Each structure stands twice: as C-alpha cells, then as structure tokens.
Amino acid sequence: MSRIRSVHPGLWTDEEFVCLSAMARLLFIGIWNECDDGGCFEWRPLRLKMRILPADSVDMDALLAELVVNRCILKYDSEGASYGAVRNFCRFQRPKKPTLFCPQTDEVRNWCGTETRSSNSSGEAVGNRFGTGGEIAPRKGGREEGRKGNTFPDGNDANAKNSDQSPKPPAPAEPGPDKQFWDEAKAYLGKSKSGMIGKWVKTHGRDAVAAALAEARRAEAVDPVPYIERVLRNRDADDVAKRQAQAEQDRLFDQRFPPRNLTDSEAKALMAPDEFQRWRARKQAA
C-alpha cells in the first residue's frame, strides 16, 4: 500500500540528485511512496512502473540502475527475494508508528538511517521488521506526524544538526569492476547518458559495452554515441554469424560421425584425437 511522503526543498539542489536524469529524479521521489516506514521496497521493476510511471515509455531497469550507481538507493537480497532501500530515508521521514514489511540487514539499517529513529515520541519501538505495513498516522489537524522532508539534508534542517547519535555512513568500499565501468563511462559520455548506458548494458552486456567505449576512445570519435551503437550492432552481427557458422560445422560433423550410431571404441578408431573428444562432447549433449 502506498504511503504519504513529503519532499524537502533541499532535495532540488542536492549534488547527487541533480546528476540524475529527469525521469530518474521523478522515479526516485515516487519510490518513497512505495517504501515501508523503514525506507525499503520490493525490487519489482514492472510493478514500480505501473504504480509510478504507468503512462511513460521508460526502461525501468535502466532507471533503477542509474539510482543505484548514484547512491540514491541500494539493492539487496534476503531470503530469496530482492529489495531496495532509500539512503537516509529514516532520518527525514518520521511516521508516528512506523511499521516495516521488508527484511533489513545491518547494512540496510545503516543505509536508511534506521537507528536515528529507534523510537517515536511516545517511546514505542520501531516495530517488527516483518510487520504488515500501514499508513503514516496523521496529527490532529491533518498534518503528518514529524514531517521532516526529503532523504537529503540541505544544511539547515534542525534534525540533521542534532544527529550526533546517527550511525556514521559506511566507509567507501574499494571500487569494483562495475563502479569503475560506470565511472569511466559517465566521465566519457557525461552523466546525462546514464540511462542510455544502462540500456546498452542490459541489451549487450557490460563487457561488450566496455569494449565499444574503449574502441570509441581509440578512434577519437567526434560523436561517440552513434559510434558506440554501430560497434555494438556490428558485434551482435558478428556473434550471430559465428553462431551460425558453428552450427553448420556441428551439423556437418554429426553427418560424418553420427553421435548415437557409433560405440566409443569404433569412434576412437575412426577419428583423430581432437575429433574423438569433440564427438564425445556431441554425444553427451545429444
């Protein structure tokens, strides 16, 4: 069930937020409505699209990937299901009686700032981490309890100034291959191309996109985007041609040495060692 959330004015000038594409910014705000009161949501791209961007032709997987790369959300797995978490959500969204329906690890609680909201004004505990959910309880007069705004402070929020007991953000991990790839791709093409890069990765794979980026740099392409797309199309065509050629070789080989019509000893007597190994593999596959 979607929940009412508020937007802090400091969001619009947050450095990481403004680096997102326009649709990613809109999706990020919409995701807050789909979060439980601990800042977590089920990682179901199709359902998120139908609830947040039902009339827009967008690649939801690419937009979510863009939010992950820019450290707005964290994707994690628990008990065989995938979930997402909004950074610093609990520091600024403060329902009266928070209830959670997504499991949380220590890393996720730290990411969402859960410990900064360990109890509400009545001293009640945050609640069962597998709770059934619930709407934010309104104050008398209709305002939400403890409305603190957005997940990002702007430097003037009193709640941010009084967060001495907040857990320190995790130390930055060593950059892995995914982060290095995204950093280099955005540095070359610009952060506004994050959605396009995500679409290429989904269609062709990260390694193929990395190779195309490297080729564009070597060629000093004046307009790298169409150059990279042409390289990816040619690579796909080459892969198809290679698969077709391999399939034709396998068909001719099976005509010469039918896998099921020979015993191992007969095949070994007829074939060269490399052909025999290939025949054994084809026989097992058959």
Say how many C-beta atoms besides its own lie within 10 A of residue 274's C-beta. 8
Domain boundaries, given as residue ranges, for the chain: 9-161, 177-285
Read off the pLDDT band of 165 (50, 70, 90). low
At residue 24, the 3 state secondary structure works out as helix
What are the counts of helices (DSSP H) followed by strands (DSSP E) for the chain? 13, 3
pTM: 0.42
Residue with tokens 């290679």: 242
Q: What is the mean pLDDT of the chain?
A: 77
Return the structure tokens found at 153.
């402070």
pLDDT in tens, 234-245: 887 777 777 788
Instruction: State how far the Cα of 39 lies from the Cα of 56, in Å rounded to an integer.
Output: 25
Q: Sheet holding 81-86: strands in order across?
A: 40-42, 81-86, 73-78
Q: 156 near 11, Cβ under 8 Å?
A: no
pLDDT tops 90 at residue 63: yes
Instruction: State how far the Cα of 28 lies from the Cα of 69, in Å rounded to an integer.
Output: 13
The residues near 134 (Cβ < 8 Å, ≥ 6 apart) are 1, 37, 97, 99
Tell me the H-state helices in the chain.
15-18, 22-34, 45-52, 60-69, 89-92, 106-112, 158-161, 177-189, 194-204, 206-219, 224-256, 264-270, 273-285
Q: Please report the sign of the dihedral spanned by the C-alpha atoms of residue 52, residue 50, residue 104, residue 70.
A: negative
pLDDT in tens, 168-227: 666 555 556 788 888 888 888 888 888 889 888 888 888 889 899 988 888 888 888 889
pLDDT tops 70 at residue 49: yes
Picking from 39, 15, 24, the residue whose alpha carbon sits closest to that of residue 93 is: 39
At residue 172, the 3 state secondary structure works out as coil
